[in-house]
Amino acid sequence: RIAAWLLETARAGHTWYHKHHVLGEPEAITRARLVLARSTQLGIAAGLRILGLSAPERM
């Protein structure tokens, strides 16, 4: 279940990131999108840790 959730979350995050600009938007939108991106990063990292895997800091 965790692996499936990770795959689904990574796909959704990837699609979202390429569809929506994070920087160069009004400040409130930029902040909200940065929070969403960081939350996705933290969630995926936590799921990988549960599975005994590590996540790269940068891609």
Which is it for the CA torsion 43, 32, 30, 9, positive or negative?
A: positive
Instruction: Name residues whose C-beta falls within 8 Å of residue 21's C-beta, 6 or more positions apart in sequence.
Output: 33
pTM comes to 0.84
* Tens digit of each residue's pLDDT (9 = 90 or more) over 14-35: 999 999 988 889 999 999 999 9
What is the pLDDT at residue 46? 95
What is the pLDDT at residue 58? 76
Share of the chain above pLDDT 70, in %: 98
Mean pLDDT, the chain, integer: 93
pLDDT at residue 12 above 80?
Answer: yes
Angle at 23 between CA 20 and CA 27, to 5 degrees: 105
